[in-house]
Amino acid sequence: MKSEHESLELIRRYIDGNASEADRQALQEQLRHDAATRRLFARYANIDATLGSGSIALRVSAHPTSRSTYWYSWRPLTAAAAGIVFGMFCTSVVFGFVVQRHGVKKTPLAVLQPSFEDAQMPLAKGFPPASSLWTGDAAKVVPAENGIMPKDGHHMLRLETAADGAPVLFPRLYQVIALPPSKTELREIEVSASFASADPSSSPHYSIRAYAVTQAPEQLGPEWFRHREEAIASAATGVDGPAGSTSWQTFGVRIQVPSKARSLVVFFGVRNQAKSQAKQPHYLDAVQVSLVESPRIP
Amino acid sequence: MTPAENAKHDQFLRLYVSQEESLLGFVRTLVPSREDAREVMQEVAVVLWQRLGDLDDLANFRPWAFGVARFKAMAWLRDRSRDRLVFDEDVLALLADEVAEHVDTYQAERRALESCVKKLNPAQRKLLDAAYAPGARIDALAAEAGRSPMSFYKALHRIRLALMNCTQRLLAQEGLS
């Protein structure tokens, strides 16, 4: 019989996804024959689930800003660039224009429906089966509603808090972006978006994540998100929705992408920190994904 | 929605929210990762909503919901057992029984956890916050902190153990341990 310390280490490896097949078998035998180990395992999983559920405030300060967060005062590029949106593919794919600010050159990458202006935009469930497709939990393109005006253009994406009447616990959206070939070993890509909530009492926490992967978009299956640790680079940031306010929160994250990366998976999510389910939906708008080139130091 | 549909929706939400965390902890015990648990929970919520009318007595919502969650988790695991490190069904059944038979104790432990998290120092809370953010990657967090992934996992483990000790002390004080 293993000591409790050894059992806990096996449990940790399993819960953290670090267990080998031998670990799994060893733990399974203990669980099969020892009620105390089952209790220990269930307690450890319970603690892990609760910490990950967002129901307990983990941070010390109510409104910290992640140090990898970049706040923007400028308007989203898409509206300003209306005249240079290429009409190819008859979609809202935006690419090819360049914005320079303080010497930093930003070249937007192709993002399907960055400001959700097509009310008929399809939204598949789960993880994207191909590039340039929004997928995730229940969502719908809507005009202004619930006191929320679109951040950019005339429409925005409503992230439903319920689907078929059942709660959606953590609304999330994905898109896989095919990366163009790169001549440089490392390039910087910036992902930004605006979030708002019609129910600020739910204390929403908004997050943006980006993962650089070596596979082409069509090689990423629905199981990919579970294997995201295999991404060659990642970056994440998040902000809390301001208490009692429905105003838009615009923020972004930058990721250093190695040249061998062929796809960028971008993830947008909302977690309610209040213990109750959000009664009103959250909104996403003005998504931007740009290559960032800083001026060379002479 | 009609007033009747609204009433049904509100009733469901009340019942569901009251059991949501217990169900999540239960499902988490059965599936390999938090992400897996979240996926199963979405499916559980849909089934509970669709079949709420089948429930004769709403007082039985909790055991019924646990039964649905157990069924959905097992089905989910069967679909993925070929390529995942999952336990055999007899062991999963024993784990499911353990949680289902002590629902109130695990619920009390979750309540105690909130107090215990507040007792952690700021560095520990910062580490927890980073590790438990949606989609967080431990290897990236470790690199950012200048540590190896294993040392990050170990630090996380020590915090969880401290929290378990703390919750156990609080439950013992309430006579629930």
pLDDT in tens, B97-139: 999 889 989 999 998 999 999 999 999 999 998 898 877 888 8
- Taking an 8 Å cut-off on Cβ atoms, the answer to whether A53 and B21 are in contact is yes
| Whether pLDDT at A103 is above 90 | no
Topology of domain B1-101 in CATH is Rna Polymerase Sigma Factor; Chain: A (1.10.1740)
- CATH for B103-177 (2.40.50.140, 3.90.700.10, 1.10.10.10, 2.40.360.20): 1.10.10.10
Query: Can you list the alpha helix ranges (DSSP code H) found in B58-175?
Result: 61-80, 89-101, 103-118, 122-131, 138-145, 149-173
CB A243 within 8 A of CB A203: yes
Q: What is the pLDDT averaged over residues A183-194? A: 88
Q: Of A256, A267, A135, which is closest to residue A210 (Cα–Cα)?
A: A267
User: Are both A213 and A88 inside the same structural domain?
Assistant: yes
Q: What is the pLDDT averaged over residues A183-188? A: 84
Residue in B41, B99, B137 closest to A169 by CB: B41
- Taking an 8 Å cut-off on Cβ atoms, the answer to whether A166 and B49 are in contact is yes
**Residue A173, beta-bridge partner list:** A136, A268
pLDDT for position A259: 87
With CA atoms as reference, the chain B residue closest to A229 would be: B137
pLDDT for position A23: 94
Q: Of A172, A179, A178, A176, which is closest to residue A128 (Cα–Cα)?
A: A176
pLDDT for position A109: 80
Looking at chain B, the domain(s) classified CATH 1.10.1740 span 1-101
| Whether pLDDT at A297 is above 80 | no
pLDDT for position B79: 82
User: Are both A76 and A224 inside the same structural domain?
Assistant: yes
B163 vs A contacts (CB less than 8 Å):
47
What digits encode the pLDDT tens for the residues B97-106? 999 889 989 9
Residue A68 gets the label, from left (phi > 0), alpha (psi -120 to 50) or beta, of alpha
Assess if residue A134 is contained within a domain: yes
> Residue A122: what residue type?
P
CB A178 within 8 A of CB A233: no
Q: What is the pLDDT averaged over residues B15-19? A: 84
- Taking an 8 Å cut-off on Cβ atoms, the answer to whether A60 and B139 are in contact is no
| Whether pLDDT at B142 is above 80 | yes
pLDDT for position B177: 63
HSE of B30, CA atoms in CB hemisphere, 13 A: 34
Exposure pattern of B63-75 as b/e (b: 16+ CB <10 Å)? ebbbebbbebbbe
User: Are both A48 and A77 inside the same structural domain?
Assistant: no
CB A285 within 8 A of CB A115: yes
Choose the most confident range, by mean pLDDT, from A172-181, A208-217, B162-171: B162-171
- Taking an 8 Å cut-off on Cβ atoms, the answer to whether A47 and B164 are in contact is yes
Q: Which of B42, B49, B128 is the best mutation test for A, with the most CBs of A within 10 A?
A: B42
Residue in B9, B41, B161 closest to A8 by CB: B161
Collapse the DSSP code of A237 into the 3-class scheme (helix H, G, I; strand E, B; otherwise coil) and give the result. strand
User: Are both A162 and A262 inside the same structural domain?
Assistant: yes
pLDDT for position A167: 67
Q: What is the mean pLDDT of chain B?
A: 87
Tell me chain A's radius of gyration from C-alpha atoms.
21
| Whether pLDDT at A36 is above 90 | yes
Count of A-B CB contacts under 8 Å: 178
User: Are both A150 and A276 inside the same structural domain?
Assistant: yes
As a whole number of angstroms, the distance between CA B61 and CA B56 comes to: 9
As a whole number of angstroms, the distance between CA B1 and CA B107 comes to: 34
Assess if residue A59 is contained within a domain: no
Task: Give residue A276's pLDDT band: very low, low, confident or very high (50, 70, 90).
Answer: low
User: Are both A9 and A98 inside the same structural domain?
Assistant: no
Q: What is the pLDDT averaged over residues B150-172? A: 94
Collapse the DSSP code of A186 into the 3-class scheme (helix H, G, I; strand E, B; otherwise coil) and give the result. strand
Reported residue count of chain B is 177
Full residue range of the structural domain in which residue A12 is found = 4-52
Collapse the DSSP code of A76 into the 3-class scheme (helix H, G, I; strand E, B; otherwise coil) and give the result. coil
As a whole number of angstroms, the distance between CA A240 and CA B33 comes to: 25
Exposure pattern of A42-69 as b/e (b: 16+ CB <10 Å)? bbbbbbbbbbbbbbbbbbeeeeeebeeb
A16 vs B contacts (CB less than 8 Å):
138, 153, 156-157
As a whole number of angstroms, the distance between CA A287 and CA B1 comes to: 32
With CA atoms as reference, the chain A residue closest to B80 would be: A223
| CATH label of the domain that carries residue A132 | 2.60.120.260
Assess if residue A242 is contained within a domain: yes
Q: What is the pLDDT averaged over residues B3-9? A: 71
Q: What is the pLDDT averaged over residues A86-95? A: 27
Number of domains present in the structure of chain A? 2
- Tokens standing for residue A286: 């003005």
Taking the CA of residue B155 and the nearest CA in chain A, the distance in Å comes to: 11
| DSSP letters spanning A263-288 | EEEEEEEEEE-SSSPPSS-EEEEEEE
CB A257 within 8 A of CB A233: yes
User: Are both A245 and A285 inside the same structural domain?
Assistant: yes
Q: What is the pLDDT averaged over residues A97-121? A: 69
What digits encode the pLDDT tens for the residues A10-26? 999 999 989 999 999 99
Higher pLDDT, A274 or A83: A274
